[in-house]
Amino acid sequence: MFKLQYNTRVCFFRHLKFSIGYTIETKYPSTSRAASKSVVVDGKSYNEDEYTNVTPKILSFIGTNNHNRCGHPLNLFKQRLVDFFYDHFKGRTGNPIFSIYDKINPVVTTNENFDSLLVPKDHPSRNKTDSYYLNKTHMLRAHCTAHQSELIKMGLDNFVVFGDVYRRDEIDATHYPVFHQADGVHIFTPNELELIYGTNVNVFDNDKNNSNDEKQGVYSKEANKIVTDHLKKTLVTMIKKVFGEEIEYRWVSEYFPFTHPSFELEINYNGQWIEALGCGVIRHEILKNAGAGNRIGWAFGLGLERLAMPFYSIPDIRLFWSKDSGFLNQFQNLPKDGRMKYKPISIYPQCINDISFWLPKEKPFCSNDFYELVSNYGGQLVEQVKLIDQFKHPKTGNVSHCYRIVYRHLEKTLSQAEVNEVHKLIEINATQILGVKLR
């Protein structure tokens, strides 16, 4: 879940061979773009239409499941969260009450990803520039919250979903078009609230229009406070369990379409405030539509990479996709509750090339389209893409952009000739695909 502005700062929210010799594994041969203008994922075909914007590179990430790979840092970090919910929430028999789902197919309907979560029709997260569409009705999930309503309809009250999510975004050391999330839900019956509060609690407010910044109109003030306090206490305990009791934290009020009230939890790590997760009280309309209208609950979402990077001192999000033994071997024998500081294999120099072009007048231009193109043709050689200059011609009105592309290989030193070859490929395809004119 969480954070529909689409970045990996908070989440309450790819694999080819390149010409210069860098290979990333492909583990999902049944995912492809068929010649008959359809997209095939896990043996199922989706007819292309005007919404289709997935690329072979993006499709090749499906099924990699780094969060389930034994010895991978994302799997180790995931297990810390799983252990917390198993240990912290137990039923009368001593068994965990939270269920874990980590193998759900990332293809969802637009209704599941947006409508079921009350995301407005005009919300920017629905744009093709922000999300990956198979066609008008199906897409690659942009957050694991897309499965929330379906699981509640199945009768589940307490669960956490782990999975890969897909978003079109800028390119830098903390952003990548594929990353991983954990999204959790805890739903209470009136009896369960009484056990927490110690006395009878009216879940619902007689005045359904009594909505304000602190609560939804349908819920009573008492019930809202109990659930909000329970939510905050649970998540602070979880963060302290992971980062240590001494971790400094703070709560910030936020807005999400699917919760109210909504919050972000920030932690102070090495002197820098990091947005750790988003959360809130689930909108009653969502519960009602899922068959749980007589209940109240909370939900949260976080990005695994977002927290695993500072936890293991991993400086670049691309490293989570590295096959270099020097990276993965550091985590192979680390116990799931262990902690270590990543030791860089070596430091390779950057190669920086700029590209300037006039934007097309015939069709709209979006920077995310250019970022996507750079990612497709530059792959993991591209460390960062940044718009560094814009210019509008005073007479013609033509607009030009200048982007700085930083190239750096994770496992060897790149020569300028190698970089120029890839950069030229980006220039050619930007001209042909995006309709720009090089300056």
- pLDDT, one tens digit per residue, over 228-270 is 999 999 999 999 999 999 999 999 999 999 999 999 999 998 8
Answer whether 383's CB lies under 8 Å from 174's CB.
no
Alpha-carbon distance of 272 to 199, in angstroms, equals 42
What's the pLDDT at 31?
Answer: 54
Residue 21 scores a pLDDT above 50: no
List the alpha helices (DSSP H) in 91-189. Answer: 110-113, 148-153
pTM (two decimals): 0.79
CB-based contacts of 196, cutoff 8 Å, min separation 6: 188, 226, 230
- pLDDT, one tens digit per residue, over 111-137 is 999 999 999 999 999 999 999 999 999
What's the pLDDT at 22?
Answer: 29
Residue 107 scores a pLDDT above 50: yes
- pLDDT, one tens digit per residue, over 342-387 is 888 656 888 999 999 999 988 889 998 999 999 999 988 888 898 9
Listed in order, strand segments (DSSP E) in 14-143 are 32-34, 38-41, 44-47, 99-101, 107-109, 138-140
Answer whether 113's CB lies under 8 Å from 143's CB.
yes
List the alpha helices (DSSP H) in 270-344. Answer: 284-289, 304-312, 325-332
What's the pLDDT at 345?
Answer: 64
Amino acid at 207: D
Closest CA to 280 of 293, 295, 265: 265
- pLDDT, one tens digit per residue, over 143-160 is 999 999 999 999 999 999
Length of the chain: 439
Closest CA to 156 of 181, 180, 184, 182: 184
How many other C-beta atoms lie within 10 A of the C-beta of residue 360?
15
The enclosing H or E element of 356 equals strand 351-358
Confidence at 8, pLDDT banded by 50, 70, 90: very low
Confidence at 36, pLDDT banded by 50, 70, 90: low
What's the pLDDT at 327?
Answer: 82
Q: What are the structural domains of the chain?
A: 32-312 (3.30.930.10), 351-438 (3.30.70.380)
Confidence at 32, pLDDT banded by 50, 70, 90: low
Alpha-carbon distance of 101 to 349, in angstroms, equals 41
Residue 35 scores a pLDDT above 60: no
Confidence at 20, pLDDT banded by 50, 70, 90: very low
